[in-house]
Structure 1
Amino acid sequence: MEPTPFAETIAPTVAEALRVVRSTLAKPSFEAASTRRHFRIAMSDIGERFFMPRLWLRLAQDAPGVTCECLSPGLDELQHGLANGEIDLAVGFFPGLGAQVLHETLFQEQFVYLARQGHPLLASGGDTKELIRTPHVLASPPGTSHLTAVERVLMRRDVRAPVALRVRSFLCIGPIVAETDLVSPVPNNLAELIADHLPLHLIKPPIKFPSFDLKMYWHRRFDDDPALAWLRQLMVQLFGAA
């Protein structure tokens, strides 16, 4: 069989058209070492302190063309941002984002108490009843539900812990506790970080606070984005089961 003269005439044009179609349908790739990309990541103040130093060191090494922007949106803004691509990834504890938002657990977080070194409470060995009766400072970053879960336990009839101060950021808890006789239940990974730099003592809670899974969240529409898949894999490598 041989092509007709007409087939020979249109063959170059058809071949070029097929090449364009194949290149259009081909799955895009992400080369971390050479690609330029700006990631917008939603996380709390704790997340910025815990994740960003290690993440940025790795990005600077493996993906020098990548830049990041951290956001702290409310729940509605976060849902819309993930759906329309204005937010690439959310990292933290964000329940209720809907069935179209996929997620993967990085690790489970527990609450521990912080008290200043030399606190009168520690002289008595951290007696359970004394700890519960000690005035507390609590944090509730925007867009999170940490305060609700913790305060629900502290306000139980069998606990009735005194809450003397409420603040918006977990990052100010360390200095406040270090300079006063207030105590505070905070996530353990943050507690270990700030206790390395401030005269603070970690105390195992005498009452049971709810633990929570710290996760990554992204919208189903962007599940196949190779750049976001690479970023999620990097987060698992750095922080999985922290």
Structure 2
Amino acid sequence: MTRGRAHLANLDLNLLVALRELIRERNVTRAAERIGITQPAASAALSRLRRHFGDELLVRGRGGYVPTPLAAQLDEQVEVVCAALERLFATGKEFSPETSTREFTLLMADYTVAVLGERFSRLMAEQAPRIGLHVRLVGESLIADATESIRLIDGVISPPVNRFRIPEINSVELFRDRWVCLVSADSPLPEAPGLEDLAELDWVVPYHRDQGPPSAAPIPRQLALLGVRPRIAIRVESYRAVPHFLIGTNRIALLQQRLATQFADGAQLRMIDPPGELEPVVEEFWWHRNFDDDPAHRWLRETLTAAASPLRP
């Protein structure tokens, strides 16, 4: 343990900020301006980073610098680490949303952004105009290691899944929704289809996993509850992408009603109630208990809850 602390003590943590801005800007001069140092100092920081990693990190390409594969790999890591350090040194300080410049990092699906994003954005703009927000869109498996990931970011908005049900993670319910079938407006599917009708159609399914352990995504679970083994025509890593693969086809999808309504308001798509009983769509905000007493994080939780209040029955 002593050796680990000594190694960390020998690191210049200012290089983390330089690395983040150099990768963001892909330009030494602009990175220097964002950090508030001179261009030669930024160039010197880039040289030190290159020596440390044994990699060029930024190489000249068409129209400017482009990141190397290693820099692309470091990109997300340095964002998470810098955000965690900023939260660490902000903890315990008095928090005023009107003047704070803190940046929050949230992980959520594009469905959540479509349903909750505008309300949350307006409240942030009204209450905390200088606060920043980094939204990371969720992948198929939500998070590989829930405990470690949530410790490094401000929280996750997702349905309840077993990997989050551990003592270190707390949650609050934000809103609920229901599942509907979505088809093209000219689909011959009847308004009250049976399971045999659904089995005859090609499906568009988000976050479907063909191999490996069962998916943590909710739609494959709902299809299993219906007893439908879908003939999958298109798999997408997005909820909002689903409707675009239905228009003018005989395909079908299962989608959250609040999102489906945004697309079915026109004349190209229509919603149909699925046969059988499905679980409700439940979206919760999950965070590590280390943030329980952080006044800034408490404001974040309260603001998210307030933004979701019109969505609750």
Q: Same fold by TM-score, threshold 0.5 exceeded?
A: yes
Indicate how the Cα distance of structure 1 residues 107 and 141 shifts in structure 2: closer, same or farther if over 3 A, else same: farther
For residue 120 of structure 1, give the secondary structure of its aligned residue in structure 2: coil
Q: Which residue of 2 aligns with 1:4?
A: none
For residue 124 of structure 2, give the secondary structure of its aligned residue in structure 1: helix
Q: Which residue of 1 aligns with 2:75?
A: none
Q: Deviation string for 1:146-174 (max 9, x for gaps)?
A: 243134235x3xx4443333222111111
Q: Which residue of 2 aligns with 1:48?
A: 113
Structure of greater Rg: 1
Q: Which residue of 2 aligns with 1:192?
A: 261
For residue 144 of structure 2, give the secondary structure of its aligned residue in structure 1: helix
Residue type at the aligned position of 1:235: L
Q: Is the 8 A contact 1:100 1:220 kept in 2?
A: yes
Partner Cα distance (1:193, 1:229) in 2: 31
One of 200, 204, 207 as aligned partner of 1:140: 207
Partner Cα distance (1:40, 1:198) in 2: 37
Shift of the alpha carbon at 1:78?
4.0
For residue 90 of structure 1, give the secondary structure of its aligned residue in structure 2: strand
One of 154, 174, 195 as aligned partner of 1:88: 154
Q: Which residue of 1 aligns with 2:239?
A: 170
Q: Is the 8 A contact 2:204 2:252 kept in 1?
A: yes
Q: Deviation string for 1:111-134 (max 9, x for gaps)?
A: 111011121224xx4432434432
Q: Is the 8 A contact 1:37 1:66 kept in 2?
A: yes
Shift of the alpha carbon at 1:77?
4.3
Shift of the alpha carbon at 1:200?
1.4
Partner Cα distance (1:49, 1:197) in 2: 17
Partner Cα distance (2:120, 2:282) in 1: 20
> Map of 1:48-67 to 2, 5 A cutoff?
48-67=113-132
Percent of aligned pairs sharing the same letter: 22
The TM-score with structure 2 as length reference comes to 0.60
Partner Cα distance (1:214, 1:141) in 2: 19
Q: Deviation string for 1:45-73 (max 9, x for gaps)?
A: 21222222221122122211111111236
For residue 214 of structure 1, give the secondary structure of its aligned residue in structure 2: strand
Q: Which residue of 2 aligns with 1:107?
A: 175
Shift of the alpha carbon at 1:27?
5.7
Q: Which residue of 2 aligns with 1:7?
A: none
For residue 217 of structure 1, give the secondary structure of its aligned residue in structure 2: strand
> Map of 1:220-231 to 2, 5 A cutoff?
220-231=289-300
Q: Is the 8 A contact 2:175 2:284 kept in 1?
A: yes
Q: Is the 8 A contact 2:208 2:235 kept in 1?
A: no
Q: Is the 8 A contact 1:33 1:63 kept in 2?
A: yes
**Matched residue count:** 210
Partner Cα distance (2:160, 2:144) in 1: 11
Indicate how the Cα distance of structure 1 residues 198 and 218 shifts in structure 2: closer, same or farther if over 3 A, else same: farther
> Map of 1:18-33 to 2, 5 A cutoff?
28-33=93-98
Residue type at the aligned position of 1:134: L
Residue type at the aligned position of 1:69: H
Indicate how the Cα distance of structure 1 residues 188 and 120 shifts in structure 2: closer, same or farther if over 3 A, else same: same
Q: Which residue of 1 aligns with 2:278?
A: 209
